Amino acid sequence: MLSNSTRDLPPLEKHLLYHACILPIATYRFRLWFFKGAKNKTAFKILSQMQCKAALWITEAFHTSPTEGTEALAGLIPVHLHLRKLADRANMRIAPLSDTHPIQSLLSEDYVKQAEVYHCSVSNMAPALQSKVYGTIMEIENHHHELTEVFEPCAAENRLDFRLMDCFVAQVSFNNFKITWRTRCSL
């Protein structure tokens, strides 16, 4: 609807629309089916077809154009790499969760912190069973050791008097610059 011949959107706005509206809806809850060992060939095929149509829409290329080329011209990364990026970010978001968060209770004893251990958690599985089980929690478990940064909710840097403006009051100044119609035209 948005790409009719009389009022067409520029390619940059089409790219922004695809990234802001379509991709989040298409990848909503992808962690339920995207993990190591999952059989997700059909989902990848559907997402690749969707992205191919979006790349053709953004670039206004012919339908016989090569998919990878139009995706590159449209500035879209391949779907499997985009999902891998989202999954890695989701794995990293586990670190700043509170010590009593329910996800912490599903991890092994090394990462449980102060949460109460759930009876079906990774810590209660036999080692032979852990190697056979696949899923998002197991992926978090396998990548949890990569998190080296310590997250403190009450860190010293979060104090009110530690802000840049509080520490360097004399070095920061603001210039009030009024933009008039003449200055706007000269820009």
Express each pLDDT in 49-98 by its tens digit. Answer: 999 999 999 999 998 999 899 999 999 999 999 999 999 999 888 888 88
Q: What is the share, in percent, of the chain residues with pLDDT greater than 70?
A: 89
Please say if the pLDDT value at position 2 is more than 70.
no
Q: Which residue has the higher pLDDT, 179 or 183?
A: 179
Length of the chain, in residues:
187
Q: Which residue has the higher pLDDT, 17 or 166?
A: 17
Asked if 22 and 54 count as a contact pair (C-beta separation under 8 A), the reply is yes
Q: Where are the alpha helices (DSSP H) in 36-151?
A: 41-59, 67-74, 79-92, 127-130, 136-143
Asked if 84 and 70 count as a contact pair (C-beta separation under 8 A), the reply is no
Q: What is the mean pLDDT of residues 131-135?
A: 87
Q: Which residue has the higher pLDDT, 143 or 87?
A: 87
146 CB-near residues (< 8 Å, 6+ apart)? none
Please say if the pLDDT value at position 26 is more than 80.
yes
Full-model pTM:
0.72
Which pLDDT band, with edges at 50, 70 and 90, does 187 fall under? low
Please say if the pLDDT value at position 108 is more than 90.
no
Tell me how far apart the 2 most distant CA atoms of the chain are, in Å.
Answer: 75
pLDDT at 144: 82
* Rounded-to-integer distance, Cα 46 and Cα 42, Å: 6
